[in-house]
Amino acid sequence: MGWVTCDRVKGHVIGLDLSCSRLYGTIPSNSSLFLLPHLQRLNLAFNDFKLSEISSGFGGFAKLRYLNLSWSDFEGQVPLKLSHLSQLASLDLSRNYFVRFNTSVMKRLVQNLTKLRELHLDAVDLHSVPLSSFWNLSSSLTSLTLKDCGLHGTLPDDIFQTPNLRELSLRSNHLSGEIPSSFLNHKALSYLDLGLNNLNGKIPSSLSNLEELSYLDLQHNHLCGSIPVSIGNLTKVTQIILQYNNFNGQIPSSLSNLKDLAFVDFSHNNFEGLGGRIPFFSNLTKLIELRLSYNHIKSQIGEFQPNNSLQILRLENNQLYGSIPNSISNLVNLTELDISSNDLGGIVEFDRSTNLKELHTLDLSNNSMFLGIKSNSNNTFPALWGLKLASCKIVEFPNFLQSSKDLEYLDLSNNRISNQIPELMFGVVENIKFLDLHSNLLQGKLPVPPSSIRVFLMSNNKLTGEIPSTICNVSYLEILDISNNSLSGKIPKCLGNLGNSLSVMDLRMNNFNGTIPDTFDKDNWLETLAFNGNHLEGKLPKSLANCEYLEVLDLGNNKINDSLPYWLESLSELRVLVLKNNRFYGPIENHETSGLFFSKLQILDLSHNEFTGHLPSNYFEKFTAMMNEDTHEREYLPQFDDDLYFRAHRTRHKSSYQASVQVTMKGSEIELSKILTIFTEIDLSSNKFQGEIPDTLGWLKFLRFLNLSHNNLTGHIPSSLANLLELESLDLSSNKLTGEIPMQLTSLTFLALLNLSQNKLIGPIPEGKQFATFQNDSYNGNLDLCGFPLSHRCGISESMLPMLPSISEEANDSLFASGFGWRAVLIGYGCGLLYGLAMGCVEFKRGKPKWLVKFV
């Protein structure tokens, strides 16, 4: 409801507050609102004016001192008449996302509104307004907020020179350059927010001039250098936020002078040390939150003095060493403690931390410490909500978990727990939503988690037996990963009915048999379905077509016997399709296709099957994801953000799981543990395809790996392959290709691996660039190739060459039975490896390489 204020003497309406009054529609220029000539205060905030323009009638209130039109869904150009409000002291147009200023209106407003004390234009479009328009702001101005306005350019030295300015926010714009020293001469300034811009350079030492400053936010810029020691002179500051910059050096000990400091966030920088040990904050008796995570701080943790104020302490991902002192229990009101991913050692005695009664999240993961968990340790952390003890050398389940009735998040992954999950624990921890026990030594049958569970990660253990059908009673389950165990039996049909909640079903590398259940409901939420490495047989269930959000379908290394079902093309979100090493047969070309075939597909692996017929040119011309590089979404395919889940209750969101997939490269199985959206591959090798290589393959200019080897392909190598400028690996070996190698292929400057062996190619091998790095193994077994690196020189008959030791054709066949020979691989990397290293690292496991594809 609104209210009206009237002049007590003359009865004129001088104030009108209609904020939050559910007003909607437009305000015409002849509205009765504009018949209140004595109006001094007008508030129309938080209404819905249906994207109507701000009426020029607002400029007729000659006595108006306060105007608030914020959050009211106006649009269009701010009228020039608004600058006629010469008595205005406060103007708020913020959060009208489609309202915009032009330069002339802004300059006139700045010149005319000489009594203005507050100007709030957050989220108003100012992208066409130069910063010079703000040079002559009212000397009376005390508050200026221009958040998210599209401002750009460098900050001039003499801008915002208003002596009474107390609040300045330029947050979330496109401002660049250094922070001008003169910019910090506002001795009255108490609030300064320059976060989320592109500012660079160092913090000026003149920062200490801001004697009244209580809030400083410079986060998400490109600021560098060390923090000036003079920051310790800001004795009234309560919050300092410098996260996501490039600061380095020592965190100055002068921070301990700031007795009113309550919030410090220096995370995600390059700080190397402290002016002393942690805790340097012992005398900061008002400190509530301290965040120093993701730096390079190398320090020990000293003794903690009694502290009743500190609630959040985040020190993860640094280089802290030594042990955690028992005096940490002096932080009696601590609610969140994260010291994961450091070099901390020693023994942590949980029974000595009983003073931390308020602790609700604790993360000690990825350190070198041992956890002293006594069997009688109960009620250690009665308020615990989230616990992460991954990679902590734990050999048994902590007994205190049985008393943690409020626990919702538990991560004990990458430990040495070898016993079964105590049934009692699931009976007590009945509210748990996230449980990660992957990469332990757990034995026995797969336990059925409580009905509250949403994320259940049990991969890489030694579980046996069948999947109990009662797991289908867990109706909120979103992610199920039980891969890499020794589970067997049939996949329960009811799992397909969990689609209303389930987004990930990962059953890879087990011993499941039988058929894939044909029970996938319509309107399901499945994004990842991975059954690779089992003994599944039969046909693909048609109900898979109901999985309209499916992005990853990995059914490789099974015994599925089916033709390629054309209804698969209805899965318009599919990015990864792996059907390799099964018993698929028949052609993959469909002349009646709708033309929507896998437009988002980036990995297609149909290798080692019995497919026949011609390669479908009409499909390749629809693979638009391989034609256009996604420059604004360099992200991983479905990945689970466990940190986000750990920090807050997670709601469903897309890409909530870290998908991985096995592909064949260089004759070896390679697991892409993280799949970048820029990774692209087509592998149709070891089938019975025939006919020519389609020219349309050359349309896929962002394809990086192409393997058509071990088929019956004929004809010439199409010169259009030279358009694949991102190509790193090309294998056309063991076919019946004829003609010459196109000279245009020398334009493939990223090509690291090439195999054209065992064909019927003739003529000169292209020279220069990457072709100078390939050896004989790339060309052996052809009819009449000549030139480097072969001993057969072009234009020289065989009779003129010296006799050389022969290599039997049988040896050649054996060398390329599985693709590339390692000699060609190692020498053929060349400059293509430079890009390869940017995409991933090579890790040797069980004698085979494993690429962890990761954007650097």
Average pLDDT score over the chain = 85
Spatial distance between the Cα atoms of 48 and 37, rounded to a whole number of angstroms? 24
For the purposes of burial, counting CB atoms within 10 Å of the CB of 228, is it exposed (0-12), middle (13-18) or buried (19 or more)? middle
- Classify residue 95: in a domain, yes or no: yes
pTM above threshold 0.95? no
Q: Is the dihedral of CA 252, 257, 258, 264 positive or negative?
A: positive
Whether 186 and 262 map to the same domain: the answer is: yes
Whether 292 and 315 map to the same domain: the answer is: no
Q: What is the pLDDT of residue 744?
A: 96
- Classify residue 267: in a domain, yes or no: yes
Domain's final residue, options 259, 281, 299: 299
Q: Where are the beta strands (DSSP E) in 418-527?
A: 434-436, 443-445, 455-457, 462-465, 479-481, 486-490, 504-506, 511-514
Provide the β-strand partners of residue 75: 53, 98
Contacts (Cβ under 8 Å, ≥6 apart) of 583: 559, 560, 561, 562, 609, 610
Which residue type sits at 125? D
Tokens representing 62?
Answer: 């000659």
Within 13 Å and on the Cβ side, how many CA atoms surround 720? Answer: 14
Average pLDDT of 34-49?
A: 94
- Expressed as residue numbers, the domain containing 74 is 1-147
Q: Are 696 and 624 in contact (CB under 8 A)?
A: no
Q: How confident is the model at residue 596 (pLDDT cuts 50, 70, 90)?
A: low
- Classify residue 685: in a domain, yes or no: no
Is residue 670 pLDDT above 80, yes or no?
no
- Classify residue 798: in a domain, yes or no: yes
Helix (H), strand (E) at residue 107: helix 103-112
Whether 285 and 243 map to the same domain: the answer is: yes
Give the CATH number for residue 844: 3.80.10
Whether 783 and 826 map to the same domain: the answer is: yes
Q: How many domains does the chain have?
A: 4
Only one residue has tokens 């010169």, namely 719
Whether 80 and 174 map to the same domain: the answer is: no
Whether 58 and 73 map to the same domain: the answer is: yes
Contacts (Cβ under 8 Å, ≥6 apart) of 403: 378, 379, 380, 382, 428
- Classify residue 399: in a domain, yes or no: yes
Tokens representing 348?
Answer: 């942590």
Is residue 426 pLDDT above 90, yes or no?
no
User: In this structure, what DSSP letter does residue 109 have?
Assistant: H
Q: What is the DSSP string of 795-842?
A: T--GGGSPP-----HHHHHHHTTTS--HHHHHHH-TTHHHHHHHHEEE
Spatial distance between the Cα atoms of 839 and 833, rounded to a whole number of angstroms? 10
Contacts (Cβ under 8 Å, ≥6 apart) of 538: 514, 515, 516, 560, 561, 562
Whether 11 and 58 map to the same domain: the answer is: yes
Q: How confident is the model at residue 629 (pLDDT cuts 50, 70, 90)?
A: low
Domain's final residue, options 147, 162, 185: 147
**Nearest of 808, 811, 832 to residue 821 by alpha carbon:** 811
Using alpha carbons, list the distances in angstroms from residue 720 to 161, 689, 699.
62, 20, 8
Share of the chain above pLDDT 90, in %: 64
Spatial distance between the Cα atoms of 589 and 604, rounded to a whole number of angstroms? 15
Whether 344 and 289 map to the same domain: the answer is: no
Spatial distance between the Cα atoms of 253 and 598, rounded to a whole number of angstroms? 58
SS3 content of the chain, % helix, strand, coil (to 5): 15, 25, 55
In tens, the pLDDT along 137-173 reads: 888 999 999 999 999 999 888 788 888 999 999 999 9
In tens, the pLDDT along 329-341 reads: 899 999 999 999 9
Whether 213 and 325 map to the same domain: the answer is: no
Is residue 212 pLDDT above 50, yes or no?
yes
- Classify residue 136: in a domain, yes or no: yes
Within 13 Å and on the Cβ side, how many CA atoms surround 116? Answer: 24
Average pLDDT of 370-393?
A: 78
- Classify residue 558: in a domain, yes or no: no
Whether 128 and 166 map to the same domain: the answer is: no
Q: How confident is the model at residue 808 (pLDDT cuts 50, 70, 90)?
A: very low
Which residue type sits at 343? D
Tokens representing 509?
Answer: 């590398």
Domain's final residue, options 299, 320, 345: 299
676 against 150, higher pLDDT: 150
Spatial distance between the Cα atoms of 508 and 669, rounded to a whole number of angstroms? 15
Give the CATH number for residue 260: 3.80.10.10
Phi, psi of 545 (to 5 degrees): -65, -15
Q: Are 673 and 853 in contact (CB under 8 A)?
A: yes
Whether 292 and 343 map to the same domain: the answer is: no
- Classify residue 637: in a domain, yes or no: no
Whether 108 and 158 map to the same domain: the answer is: no
